[in-house]
C-alpha cells in the first residue's frame, strides 16, 4: 500500500486544520498565521459555503447523531477565509482572502481560461482587464498569479488568483482588494509559510 501511495505522488488529499488565528495543511505543505487584526473564519462558516454545492449531499452523513462531512468527497473544499472584521474597514478595500482545493481534470492553464470566461459571463457589463500572469511562491508553493481589475465606473476592484495543482486538485487563493492596497496583499500572502 505504501508503494502505491508513493507512486501516485504523495498522500491522499486531507483537509487542512483551522485555529483561532491560522491554518495549516500537511497535504498542501503550508501554514498561515493571520496578520494582526485579521479574523479567520470558523469551520462552521466555511461549511456554510460548502452546503451550497451540488455534491454536498453525497459527502454528508450522520454518525452517532452528528452531521459529518467527508471533505475528500467534495468537489470544492473551502479551506480558509480571512478578513478584517472591524466596521471601519468595511468598504476601505482592505484585502480579504479565501483558499480552496477543487477536484478537476483541468491543467492550471485550462482552469484559469475557464475562470476568466465565467467571470466575463457573470459581469458582462463590467470592463475587466487581466494583468500578465506571474509565477510566485506562496508559503513555498509554486503558483501562477493572475490579477483581474474590474472597473465599476465609481470604483475599481482587484481580484488576484494564485493557482497551483497537486494530484487531482487545483489549489487556489483568491484575494479581493481595491487598487492601492497591494502592500496589504503582500502582507497577507507573506503570512503563508512552508509546513
DSSP secondary structure code for residue 81 in this structure:
E
In this predicted structure, the answer to whether residue 90 has a pLDDT above a threshold of 60 is no
Please report the pLDDT score of residue 10 as a whole number: 55
Higher pLDDT, residue 94 or 4:
94
Q: Which long-range contacts (CB under 8 A, 24 or more apart) does 146-152 make?
A: 146/112, 146/116, 148/116, 148/119, 149/179, 150/123, 150/126, 151/126, 151/127, 152/126
Q: What is the rounded average pLDDT for all residues in the chain?
A: 82
DSSP-derived pairing of the beta strands 66-69 and 128-130: unpaired
Please report the pLDDT score of residue 23 as a whole number: 97
Cα 95–chain centre separation: 13
What's this model's pTM, rounded to 2 decimal places?
Answer: 0.81
Model confidence pLDDT, tens digit, residues 46-63: 877 655 554 444 444 455
SS (H, E, C) 144-168: EEEEEEEECCCCEEEEEEEEEEECC
Higher pLDDT, residue 18 or 10:
18
Question: 68 has which bridge partners?
Answer: 61
Confidence of residue 73 (pLDDT cuts 50, 70, 90): low
Model confidence pLDDT, tens digit, residues 115-151: 899 888 888 899 999 999 999 999 999 999 999 999 9
Please report the pLDDT score of residue 94 as a whole number: 79
Count Cα atoms within 13 angstroms, Cβ side, for 99: 28
Topology of 2-41+72-194 in CATH? Protein Transport Mog1p; Chain A (3.40.1000)
Please report the pLDDT score of residue 1 as a whole number: 28
Please report the pLDDT score of residue 194 as a whole number: 97
Please report the pLDDT score of residue 66 as a whole number: 57
DSSP-derived pairing of the beta strands 30-33 and 39-40: unpaired
Amino acid at each position: 500500500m505504501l508503494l502505491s501511495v508513493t507512486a501516485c505522488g504523495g498522500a491522499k488529499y486531507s483537509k487542512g486544520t483551522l485555529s483561532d488565528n491560522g491554518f495549516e495543511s500537511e497535504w498542501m505543505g503550508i501554514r498561515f498565521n493571520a496578520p494582526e487584526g485579521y479574523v479567520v473564519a470558523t469551520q462552521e462558516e466555511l461549511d456554510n459555503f460548502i452546503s451550497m454545492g451540488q455534491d454536498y449531499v453525497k459527502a454528508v452523513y450522520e454518525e452517532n447523531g452528528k452531521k459529518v462531512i467527508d471533505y475528500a468527497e467534495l468537489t470544492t473544499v473551502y479551506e480558509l477565509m480571512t478578513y478584517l472584521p472591524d466596521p471601519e474597514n468595511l468598504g476601505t478595500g482592505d484585502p480579504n482572502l479565501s483558499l480552496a482545493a477543487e477536484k478537476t481534470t483541468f491543467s492550471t492553464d485550462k482552469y484559469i481560461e475557464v475562470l476568466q470566461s465565467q467571470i466575463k459571463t457573470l459581469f458582462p457589463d463590467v470592463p475587466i482587464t487581466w494583468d500578465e500572469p506571474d509565477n510566485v511562491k506562496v508559503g513555498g508553493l509554486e503558483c501562477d498569479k493572475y490579477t483581474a481589475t474590474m472597473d465599476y465606473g465609481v470604483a475599481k476592484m482587484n481580484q488576484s488568483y494564485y493557482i497551483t495543482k497537486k494530484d487531482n486538485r487545483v489549489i487556489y487563493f483568491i484575494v479581493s482588494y481595491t487598487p492601492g492596497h497591494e502592500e496589504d496583499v503582500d502582507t497577507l500572502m507573506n503570512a503563508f509559510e512552508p509546513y
